[in-house]
Amino acid sequence: MIRLLLLIFYLSIFSQVSYADTTQEINISEWSTLPIAHEGRIKPIDSFARLLLKKISGRETTSNLSASEWLAEVIFNPSQAMERKIFKASLPEVLKLEQRKNKHYSYIEIAVSIDKNKEIISQLIDAKETDWTPDQRELMRVFQNYILMTQALRSLTTILPLPLKIPENIKNNDGETTNYLALKKLEKTITERVKKIVKQKGTNLEKYSEKELQIAELSFQLKTIESGGKNNVLFKIYPENPNNNDANWLSPWEIMLNGKGSPQSAKFIREWQGMALSYQQKDGKKFNTLVKKNRELTQGYTSTIKIEKIFNYIPLKNMATGIYFILFLTIIFTSLRGIDISQYTSIISTLFNVSLATHLLLIISRIFILNRPPVGTLYESVLFVSLICALVMFIVSLKQVKEKKLTSIFIGSLSAFALLFISNGLVEDNKMATLAAVLNTNFWLSTHVIFITIGYGFCLIAGIMAHTYLFQIVKNKNSKKALQDFFKTILTISIFALLFTGIGTILGGIWADQSWGRFWGWDPKENGALLIVLWLIWLLHSRISGHLHQLGFIVGLAFINIIVILAWFGVNLLNVGLHSYGFIEGIALSIGAFCFFEIILISTLAIKAQKINRAIK
Amino acid sequence: MKINLILLLIVLMAAGAYAYGTKNTNTPIFIKETKKQSQNVEDSNILENFTYERLNGKKAYLYDHKGRTTLLHFWATWCAPCLIELPQLVDLATLQPNIDILAISTDQNIDQISRFITKTRKVIPKNFILITDAKNEIAQDRFQTVRLPETFILTPALSIHEKIIGAHEEWTSPTMLEKLNTLSYKPE
């Protein structure tokens, strides 16, 4: 409890100072485009703020502040930020918090709760994470967010003004802001004075005079702030060598405590100190000038960062998902109702193209921002595969639209929407995470992984087309010629699927040879890729040689979706082998349900289709 | 075709309006900023001039040392590692008359500095300059040195060549002498 009170007291002392007259508003939007190093890459403060706020509160804005405005308050005015109710606690009863409708609590409330639960937390830290119950998991999630927030609140405690008075007899410079750095200059003198006082009067504070108490408090503050800042590496805003692209980025506390100071860092920190002071005094003019000055040091990073911030504000993914969904719904609804919408084919086609262009822009922006191919994580691969599906169907639609047919647009919208929707469940906090070292080699990512994911895209499209083909036979709507044309398209797409998955698998072997020293290791992911290739080879060979009739080929191809999903997501669930980089929890049930549903659906469709075919014959 | 274009425009405008009409109305501004032209890295690191005060009260400037390899050494008599390192730096100054060593002490009491130095070495070479920085204006405000000792090795152009954090115990080693010599005679 004492520690908790100390912590709250420690952060409270960085309270607001008196306001100055202001004529210009503080431009947080401009400030939020300053660069910061976080999770292995340089991003705008805006992205960092969104990520941090989402992690803590589950949202990217507070009730009345944007993420950047909230972060500015956290680092420049921690005492006020501590009272803002931003901590999401889904199970307040577990955390011994009062029940509240919106389940959001302030830092101070969470600190009290953590203190009440400290014994359980320390036991959980020692226990295996896999043994935690869902309640304990929630407790630890909030605890980890509490640690994160504590770090954020302490980011600039080196330079934030302190409401303390330095006695005249030990003061160095008049007019200097009293902060940690100013106290640090006097450390030796303060320590000697405290030693002297303790020698003369002991440790009983009641015996101290007012001036002696003042000295003792300064010493206490210095030690408390310094111990609070130790290991604070969250807010890495200073590039140690800005001329170097691989510069080591440091937090203000790292500069101070790791001997990384230099005339350049001193200037940099002075500017941030000015920003903090002008933020607290609401002096927009000074704040904005200092932001501009500060940008000079990091201007090499400006262009990417500004573009990333723009994309933070444009919900490209939601826009594309929304249009795909509307198209898919419209086509399926009108088709089920028997409404003829062929006269609106061009409008539907244009909407599909707009959605595809938005989707494409999303992927291109990610390539530009992350400076690597967009297929590094499972989340990214889903985004990319959905684009491939839409692109393939766009190419097919070029011919079909002329014939006033909407099948390709329907399949494209359905597959892209479904995958984009699934991707929402795969991303936790960081949509632009940095990769594991073995993946972060642009050459191999741009060859092996891209080929294999394009292959996945072709496979899924071929699988969905096979489903559609089966539905069309069952509904017995299309003419024989139309079905034959459709079959030819499916056959072509399945050949492309084999081409890309085949080349991708071989390239993967070459990568494995260079990275791990062996071409093939029967790793689950490798086996999954091989299974897709073998399945497609079997289907295509059987069809070409005449061993498999058209319907048999289509039914076999419809099953490729199950194999792809198992190879793509399922293998990661095993958490074994060298491809466990994409490991995610909680999708086993979804995959199981999907496979079960697919087996039932395909089997039912296949039996019905065969009956119809026999009847026709 | 016309209807396609109109529809495309409407969708794009709607998307734009949605994007900019969201709660975060502070639209980011594009500022055209180019990367610094291939500026010489060393040049951009040349230190700003500053005044310092010698133990005898005389004032001088950093730029007085232009053209000579210079060591800025931050220390204090209360810092134990500094006391081991400093005599070595005095020896280095004797061995390398072509370099300057500015030993900047953050001690409040000047007498302590003189007492320590005279106790350590009887003869102090001219190129070993003792400086007092009781207000920490050079150490902390200018170089952000909060932990002692720290040493900056400056090129003859007075840009930072290297920073040594903590006590270095091989100031008079052949490697260090060679490094300093190379720096002194390196064409800039």
With beta carbons less than 8 A apart as the criterion, state whether A427 and A379 touch: yes
CA separation for the pair A177, A164 (Å, rounded): 10
pLDDT tens-digit readout, A519-539: 888 888 888 899 999 999 999
B28, B30, B35: residue with CB nearest A313: B28
pLDDT at position A447, please? 84
DSSP string, A293-353: HHHHHTGGGHHHHHHHHHHHHS-HHHHHHHHHHHHHHHHHHHHHHT---GGGHHHHHHHHH
pLDDT at position A616, please? 73
pLDDT tens-digit readout, A57-86: 988 888 889 999 999 999 999 999 999 999
Query: In Å, how far from its chain's centre is CA A614?
Result: 53
Exposed/middle/buried for residue A12 (C-beta within 10 Å: 0-12, 13-18, 19+): middle
pLDDT tens-digit readout, A228-278: 888 889 999 998 876 666 678 999 999 988 889 999 999 999 999 999 999
pLDDT of A12 > 70? The answer is no
Q: Are residues A201 and A146 in the same domain?
A: no
The residue extents of the domains of chain B are 42-185
pLDDT of A384 > 90? The answer is yes
Phi, psi (degrees; rounded to nearest 5) at B149: -90, 160
Total domains, chain A:
4
CA distance B117 to chain A (A): 20
Residue in chain B nearest A29 by alpha carbon: B26
pLDDT at position B22, please? 39
Of A222, A218, A224, A223, nearest in space to A167 by CA:
A218
pLDDT at position A128, please? 87
pLDDT of A426 > 90? The answer is no
pLDDT at position A73, please? 95
DSSP string, A418-459: HHHHHHHHH--S-TTPPPPTTT--HHHIIIIIHHHHHHHHHH
> Taking CB atoms and an 8 Å limit, are B33 and A295 in contact across chains?
yes
Domain end, chosen from A96, A119, A153, is at: A153
A172, A347, A353: residue with CB nearest B3: A347
pLDDT at position B35, please? 32
- High-pLDDT (> 70) share of chain B, %: 75
**Are β-strands A35-38 and A41-44 bridged in parallel, bridged antiparallel, or unpaired?**
antiparallel
Least confident of A474-478, B73-77, B147-151: A474-478
> Per this entry, what is the length of chain A?
617
B4, B48, B146: residue with CB nearest A261: B146
CA separation for the pair A420, A414 (Å, rounded): 10
pLDDT at position B31, please? 27
CA distance B69 to chain A (A): 18
Q: Helical H runs in A18-158? A: 28-31, 45-57, 67-76, 78-81, 107-116, 118-126, 134-153
Domain end, chosen from A130, A153, A176, is at: A153
CB burial string B143-168: b at 16+ within 10 A, e below? bbbbebbbbbbbbbbbbbbebbeebb
Residue in chain A nearest B50 by alpha carbon: A263
ipTM: 0.75
CA separation for the pair A554, A536 (Å, rounded): 11
CA separation for the pair A532, A497 (Å, rounded): 9
Measured between beta carbons, the chain A residues lying within 8 angstroms of B36 are 299-300
* Amino acid in position A453: T
Residue in chain A nearest B107 by alpha carbon: A188
Of B119, B63, B93, nearest in space to B171 by CA:
B93
Domain that residue A122 falls in: 2-16+43-153
Range A6-26 average pLDDT: 54
Residue A448 lies in a domain: no
pLDDT of A583 > 90? The answer is no
Chosen for mutation from A245, A257, A350, A358 (greatest number of chain B CBs closer than 10 Å) is A350
Residue in chain B nearest A28 by alpha carbon: B26
Q: Are residues A532 and A611 in the same domain?
A: yes
pLDDT at position B48, please? 92
CA distance B92 to chain A (A): 23
Domain B42-185 of CATH type 3.40.50.150: no
Measured between beta carbons, the chain A residues lying within 8 angstroms of B106 are 188
Q: Are residues A280 and A333 in the same domain?
A: no
Q: Are residues A295 and A338 in the same domain?
A: no
Confidence of residue B36 (pLDDT cuts 50, 70, 90): very low
Confidence of residue A2 (pLDDT cuts 50, 70, 90): low
CA separation for the pair A465, A60 (Å, rounded): 38
Range A165-177 average pLDDT: 69
Of B51, B74, B55, nearest in space to B132 by CA:
B55
Residue A541 lies in a domain: yes
Of B185, B178, B153, B146, nearest in space to B168 by CA:
B153
Range A381-410 average pLDDT: 90
Q: Are residues A148 and A245 in the same domain?
A: no
- Return the structure tokens found at A538: 């079997």
Q: For chain A, give the mean pLDDT.
A: 85
pLDDT at position A432, please? 56
Q: Are residues A610 and A471 in the same domain?
A: yes
pLDDT of A433 > 60? The answer is no
pLDDT at position B29, please? 28
Measured between beta carbons, the chain B residues lying within 8 angstroms of A300 are 35-36
Q: Are residues A297 and A322 in the same domain?
A: no
pLDDT at position A174, please? 61
Domain end, chosen from A301, A335, A362, is at: A301
Chosen for mutation from B5, B22, B24 (greatest number of chain A CBs closer than 10 Å) is B24
Measured between beta carbons, the chain A residues lying within 8 angstroms of B22 are 313, 315
Q: Are residues A344 and A482 in the same domain?
A: no
Residue in chain A nearest B37 by alpha carbon: A300
- Return the structure tokens found at A79: 């005492």
Q: Are residues A474 and A575 in the same domain?
A: yes
Measured between beta carbons, the chain B residues lying within 8 angstroms of A347 are 3-4, 7
Residue A26 lies in a domain: no
pLDDT of B47 > 60? The answer is yes
> Taking CB atoms and an 8 Å limit, are B144 and A255 in contact across chains?
yes
SS3 sequence, B22-33?
A: CCCCCCCCCCCC
> Taking CB atoms and an 8 Å limit, are A189 and B22 in contact across chains?
no
CA separation for the pair A584, A321 (Å, rounded): 23
Residue A615 lies in a domain: yes
Residue A230 lies in a domain: yes
Helix (H) or strand (E) holding B53: strand B51-54
CA distance B165 to chain A (A): 6
Helices A67-76 and A45-57 sit at what angle, rounded to 10 degrees? 90
> Taking CB atoms and an 8 Å limit, are A262 and B143 in contact across chains?
yes
* Amino acid in position A341: I
Residue in chain A nearest B44 by alpha carbon: A243
- High-pLDDT (> 70) share of chain A, %: 88
* Amino acid in position A128: K
Q: Are residues A493 and A560 in the same domain?
A: yes
Confidence of residue B174 (pLDDT cuts 50, 70, 90): very high
A33, A185, A302: residue with CB nearest B136: A185
Q: Are residues A495 and A585 in the same domain?
A: yes
Measured between beta carbons, the chain A residues lying within 8 angstroms of B45 are 264
A603 versus A346: the higher-pLDDT residue is A603
Of A408, A394, A387, nearest in space to A454 by CA:
A387
Residue in chain B nearest A30 by alpha carbon: B28
pLDDT tens-digit readout, A318-328: 999 999 999 99
pLDDT tens-digit readout, B117-146: 888 777 889 999 999 998 899 999 999 998
Query: In Å, how far from its chain's centre is CA A579?
Result: 20
> Taking CB atoms and an 8 Å limit, are A30 and B166 in contact across chains?
no
CA separation for the pair A263, B44 (Å, rounded): 12
- Return the structure tokens found at A67: 């993420």
Q: Are residues A490 and A422 in the same domain?
A: no
